[in-house]
Amino acid sequence: MALEAIRYKNGNLEVLDQLLLPDETKYIQVKGTKDGWNVIKKMQVRGAPAIGIVGILSLAVELHCKFFNSLDELGEYVTEQLTYLVTARPTAVNMADFRDKLCVQLSEWSNEANSTVNGVTQKMLAEIESQLEYDINTNKTMARYGADHIIKHYKGKSVKVLTHCNTGSLATAGFGTALGVVRELYSRGCLLHCYCTETRPYNQGSRLTAYELVHDKIPATLICDSMAAVLMKDKAITAVVVGADCVVANGDTANKVGTYQLAIISHYHSVPFYVVAPSTSIDLDRDTGAEIVIEERPPDEMTTLKGISIAAKGISVWNPAFDITPASLITGGIVTEFGVFKPDELKDRLTTTLQKKSEQQ
């Protein structure tokens, strides 16, 4: 059975508490945007696409039962709640992308002749609720593009990949971004081995990615983050595949802290480095990575493990949750649902594709 991080039906939303994994499988009910904000902030749900989807679904929960007197009141409430949800975690761009797109749609629907509060609410709900399926389909398309590219350009049928953080079913609506590529390689019989990093300080690799790999019976090995260089030296890694919290116009990419050092050592060892990111994680309005806000997390996420202190008391701590990998180190390419692009062609190719798509609608 596929892992399900997000369960939603008719205004009922539950998320798998990822802080308890891999030991315990427990779902939390999300009763509205306040709960949505809290589960995102506490990282009970995490991963850029999952953050965005849980955020908007928490609004859908409210839209199912709330009453609005006018279109203005509906518009004001929706805009306010979406903006509030963006503040839970600042680096992952997906929630902000949903806010921007939904606000534009809301105002278009409201301005249509004969629009009603109920009619616009139903359209909004349909749009939000379609995102679960849309994200899974997007992930499967990226997985095919990514696997094709790796097989075509590198070692054909005996691929060994290294991945970082968790980018799988738990970080998305299902299947995953970078881990989706790993799943696709495995299902084609082309994956010899997947290595996953522990991903300190919050261990998304050892707790979540390892859990998904074991669940799917994919041949895999866990390494500490500090072992990545020697892994590349000794184990003939074919490619590194990672996800993204935000890719900007020049291809600079924010992802889980530690990604940047992996990109540097990949470059040193001539291992192609891929970022797998849906267009909802790409922000073409920002030119370079310098414009990305990096979230800093509380010190105890680094100094304690399940409440037990693992660092000298009194030491000061710097805990950035993400780092920026410069476009020049993304040597394999940026895998999107529209194809695999070199960082320097991302902006033009994506702009053209999105323009064509909107003309066809």
Tell me the C-alpha distance between 335 and 357, whole Å. 18
Name residues contacting ligand MRU, limited to 74-93 (CB under 6 A): 92
Q: Does 177 bind ligand MRU (CB under 6 A)?
A: yes
Q: Does 183 bind ligand MRU (CB under 6 A)?
A: no
CB 244, min distance to ligand MRU, A: 6
Tell me the C-alpha distance between 47 and 278, whole Å. 12
Q: Does 165 bind ligand MRU (CB under 6 A)?
A: yes
Helix (H) or strand (E) holding 57: helix 48-65
Tell me the C-alpha distance between 251 and 248, whole Å. 5
Span near ligand MRU by CB under 6 A; candidates 115-123, 129-137, 170-178, 186-194: 170-178
Site size for ligand MRU, by CB under 6 A?
17
| HSE, side-chain direction, 13 A CA sphere, residue 131 | 29
Centre a 10 Å sphere on the Cβ of residue 123 and count the other Cβ atoms it contains. 17
For residue 355, which of 284, 261, 270, 281 has the smallest C-alpha distance?
A: 284
Q: Does 245 bind ligand MRU (CB under 6 A)?
A: yes
Q: Does 181 bind ligand MRU (CB under 6 A)?
A: no
The interface mask with ligand MRU, positions 200-219, x = CB under 6 A, is: ----x---------------
The two tokens of residue 20 are: 């308890």
The two tokens of residue 48 are: 């850029």
Q: Which of 5, 13, 48, 262 binds ligand MRU (CB under 6 A)?
A: 48
CB 204, min distance to ligand MRU, A: 5
Helix (H) or strand (E) holding 16: strand 12-16
What are the catalytic residues? 245
The two tokens of residue 277 are: 């990111």
The interface mask with ligand MRU, positions 110-149, x = CB under 6 A, is: ----------------------------------------
Binding site for ligand MRU (CB under 6 A): 46-49, 92, 165, 167, 171-172, 177, 204, 243-245, 255-256, 321
